[in-house]
Amino acid sequence: MAEFRLEAPFEPTGDQPQAFDKLVEGLEAGLRNQTLLGVTGSGKTFTMANVIEHYQRPTLVISHNKTLAAQLASEYRQFFPDNAVEYFVSYYDYYQPEAYVPAKDMYIEKETDINAEIERLRQSTTRSLKSRDDVIVVASVSCIYGLGDPKEYDELSMLVEVGQEVERRELLEKLVAMQYDRNDMEIEPGVFRVRGDVIDVYPGYSRDALRIELDGPKISRISHLQGLSMKRLYDEDFAVLWPARHHVARHERVLEALDEIEQEMEERVEWFRNQGKLVEADRLRRRTLYDMEMMRETGLCQGIENYSRFIDGREPGEPPYTLLDYFP
């Protein structure tokens, strides 16, 4: 088990030792809320870094905006260079919600501009929380917004080992189930490409690629490659691959949810018809049936998070899974 190890060129001074003692005392007493007051530059971040090192628990630091979160993440990376310090904020640079104009029977699809680098950092956060104990996550309020089921995220992870017996087709099918897209031309996170018995996977949480080489029905070599140049960095005996997206679920679980989705669709369509809103009822029915067909055939559809309650098996009104559910 890796431990938090604080590295700093200075020691706590002034009121910092007293604040540290009081905070640790409160944690050990089980206090749910404590407040650390201090003017700008008084060393609040350093004091909390000392608390993290002493308490040795995965830590969530919530900031009120992306800019301050990035600053805090940078400071904690300096304090904990050998530990995982992750940055988790909203990945939208631009977001326009979907809309429907009944008078024109016009559907305006949701339009977004997703920041690929922030998405990589979000994926890296959940990967770290599931694979190690020495994790500090600096996040915005995005950490309490809906995320996929952590149990399904675990279930769909894949361990590959040198010498492991696995058919090439089985390996590719598993990658597709993990929501990786096959793309033999473009290099981007969340895709894989195949050249004979060589499979290159570009995880959503890393800038590097993972190469899996097969010799017949066995894995003969596992290598980490530099993402753009494809230069071999190092080999290892095993590796764990995590899903390409957060909203993932086993295909059989998605299929089980379709009946409930259809039932609620029929209820809402009937409600619109009773209100005399026939155009809206028809549009809702067509869109939902299209999404259901996509999920039935591929296990995925545009905006699958809208159906997460059914796929997760949650009751009406039950809160969705968030980043907090990924913490041990």
SS (H, E, C) 259-284: HHHHHHHHHHHHHHHHCCCHHHHHHH
Tell me: pLDDT of 1 over 70: no
Q: Would 150 be classed as within a structural domain?
A: no
Quick one: pLDDT at residue 132? Answer: 93
Task: State the residue for tokens 């590295």.
Answer: 7
pLDDT digits (tens, 9 = 90+) for 224-268: 999 888 899 999 999 999 999 999 999 899 999 999 999 999 999
Distances (CA, A) of 277 to 67, 75, 89, 106: 45, 55, 39, 14
Q: Can you say whether residue 106 is alpha, beta or left, with left for phi > 0 and alpha for psi between -120 and 50 degrees?
A: beta
Residues in the chain: 328
- 76 & 177 share domain: no
CATH of the domain at 35: 3.40.50.300
Is the pTM higher than 0.85?
yes
- 140 & 115 share domain: yes
Q: Would 4 be classed as within a structural domain?
A: no
Q: For residues 115 and 66, is the Cβ–Cβ distance under 8 A?
A: no
Quick one: pLDDT at residue 83? Answer: 96
Two tokens, residue 191: 């895709």
Which DSSP letter does residue 32 get?
Answer: S
- 175 & 276 share domain: no
Which range, of 162-176, 199-213, 299-313, averages the lowest pLDDT? 299-313
Q: Would 6 be classed as within a structural domain?
A: no
- 83 & 198 share domain: no
Tell me: pLDDT of 78 over 90: yes
Which range, of 107-116, 136-145, 308-317, averages the lowest pLDDT? 107-116
- 219 & 269 share domain: no
Q: Would 301 be classed as within a structural domain?
A: yes
Distances (CA, A) of 66 to 30, 69, 275, 311: 30, 5, 43, 30
Two tokens, residue 94: 């631009």
Q: For residues 322 and 147, is the Cβ–Cβ distance under 8 A?
A: yes
- 282 & 221 share domain: no
Quick one: pLDDT at residue 103? Answer: 78
Q: Would 169 be classed as within a structural domain?
A: yes
Instruction: Work out the average pLDDT over 279-289.
Output: 91
More confident residue, 96 or 33: 33
Quick one: pLDDT at residue 160? Answer: 95
Instruction: Work out the average pLDDT over 171-185.
Output: 92
Tell me: pLDDT of 185 over 90: no
Number of domains in the chain: 3
Instruction: Work out the average pLDDT over 190-205.
Output: 93
Tell me: pLDDT of 35 over 90: yes
Confidence of residue 307 (pLDDT cuts 50, 70, 90): very high
Last residue of a domain, one of 120, 144, 168: 144
CA 293 from centre of chain = 25
Tell me: pLDDT of 207 over 70: yes
- 22 & 105 share domain: yes
Last residue of a domain, one of 207, 241, 275: 241
Last residue of a domain, one of 144, 166, 198: 144
More confident residue, 34 or 94: 34
Distances (CA, A) of 82 to 52, 77, 236, 267, 286: 14, 8, 20, 54, 52
List the beta strands (DSSP E) in 146-216.
Answer: 158-161, 181-182, 191-195, 198-202, 209-215
Which DSSP letter does residue 217 get?
Answer: T
Two tokens, residue 283: 């549009």
Q: Would 152 be classed as within a structural domain?
A: no
Tell me: pLDDT of 114 over 90: no
- 191 & 306 share domain: no
Quick one: pLDDT at residue 271? Answer: 96
Instruction: Work out the average pLDDT over 140-151.
Output: 93
Helix ranges restricted to H, the chain? 16-28, 44-55, 66-79, 116-131, 150-155, 168-177, 251-274, 278-298, 308-312
- 283 & 168 share domain: no
Neighbour count for residue 154 (Cβ, 10 Å): 12
Q: Long-range contact list for 16-23, CB < 8 A, 24+ apart?
A: 16/43, 16/46, 16/47, 16/50, 19/47, 20/47, 20/50, 20/51, 20/54, 23/47, 23/48, 23/51
- 200 & 223 share domain: yes
Quick one: pLDDT at residue 289? Answer: 96
Tell me: pLDDT of 86 over 90: yes
Q: Domain limits at 181?
A: 158-241
